[in-house]
Amino acid sequence: MLTANRFIVNLLAAVIMGFGATAAASTDNVKAVGMHESKYKQYGQWLRSLNTKPAPYAASIQALHEVIESDPGIKINLNRMISQVPEAYRPARDVEELLGIMNGIIHEAPKYNAPSYFPMSALFVQMMYTPAGEYILTNRELNRALKDVLDEWKTFLDSKASVSVINRGDGWLSPVSIKENDLDSFVIPNPKDPHGGFDSFNAFFHKQIKPELRPIAAVDDDEVVILPSDGTVYKIDLNAKKTAQYWLKSEPYSLEDMLAGSPYTDRFVGGIIVQTFLSGKNFHRFNSPVSGEVVEARVIDGFMFSELRVLGFDEDAGIKSQGYEASVNTRGLVIIKADNTDLGYVAFSPIGITEISSITLGIKPGDKIKKGDELGYFSYGGSTVTTVFEPNRVNFDASIQEKNAVKANAKFATVRKK
């Protein structure tokens, strides 16, 4: 848990940031669009076509509407956020239209031939970058309501009603998609079935990769640590700090915030953090990097659509802010006491970005696991993961460098002998 002094520092920082953003919201009509402005015009037209008004809201959208109407501060700043997006690229022109579009999104599965594979990201991408958006999208009550919306969408994407987009005509199993998404590398449960044997959209999204393509490195050698997931190395920190101002442009890692007050936090101070980004095309299951006992496993609720505006406009909706998101976004936390005592403890955190705020963990404290055993998976969207080692415990493989692509179960590191 945060100390009283730490809590006060964070509170003051949030208040200062909030007042600054609110003041800016009334005067700063920021040009939020990026280099491909025609794309945002197309997004706006497409997203407005999803508006379900006057159909009744889904339960989570109705609850979100009630949260907005009950809090003038949320309502004012949401409207400011919308108005700060240049009108030509504005998907929603007011809160009512925003809710109508969100209601439409959560009643259907993402289509392969849509202007964007990630409709929630397309809806929020410019609003996230506005001064009012930077402020209001960190509001806890609003984030709880947004999480409920994404959870209701997940329920639909887990259902048979979502499987129609998994087809061989213009859908996710079409020849073009097979090539673009490297689907020949994945397990298709029933190739003769029109939907490939998948019973929902999410079953397709977190599909298994062919095991021969992800062999476990040195499977019987506990001195070899393996990579927990596919992706691209985003950032490496060789001297992890217990506390840091993670909202700064440099995105320093703050273990106390990343690990959400875990009693194991102090073990990792001065250790190493490796963060990896998973695109929507990557294999979205994650495995244990070591053999050992799970001592902590939980999902931590956090933000969904928050990013660091100081890093500039992010046309990928939050990808530039992954270091910051490691401390604030909805995320899982798994801490393992390694069987090899020279490794000590290893912490792993799968982190959601925008659409992906649904993380499923398949293990619990007390479970004994082998390296390469599945820990869980992400549902639809892009995501990022962090792996944290205690100080002076490992030597990394030469492949572990920022911007390098990596594969789950490949060699990550070896134990550093004491």
Bin 64: left if φ > 0, else alpha if -120 < ψ < 50, else beta.
alpha
CB 209 within 8 Å of CB 187: yes
Q: pLDDT band at residue 40, thresholds of 50, 70 and 90? A: confident
Least-confidence region, from 23-37, 44-58, 66-80? 23-37
Given a cut of 50, is residue 275 above it in pLDDT? yes
CB 154 within 8 Å of CB 120: no
pLDDT per position as a tens digit, 213-252: 999 999 999 999 999 999 999 999 999 999 999 988 889 9
pLDDT per position as a tens digit, 356-400: 668 999 999 999 999 999 999 988 766 899 999 999 999 999 999
Domain regions of the chain by residue span: 4-157, 162-199, 211-415
pLDDT at 71 (0 to 100): 97
pLDDT per position as a tens digit, 276-318: 999 878 889 999 999 999 999 999 999 989 999 999 888 888 8
DSSP lists the bridge partners of residue 99 as none
pLDDT at 248 (0 to 100): 85
Contacts 24+ apart (CB under 8 A), 361-368: 361/297, 361/298, 361/299, 361/332, 361/334, 363/294, 363/297, 363/334, 364/294, 364/297, 365/294, 365/295, 365/296, 365/297, 366/293, 366/294, 367/293, 367/294, 367/297, 368/292, 368/293, 368/294
pLDDT per position as a tens digit, 80-104: 999 999 888 899 999 999 999 999 9
The more confidently predicted of residues 211 and 36 is 211
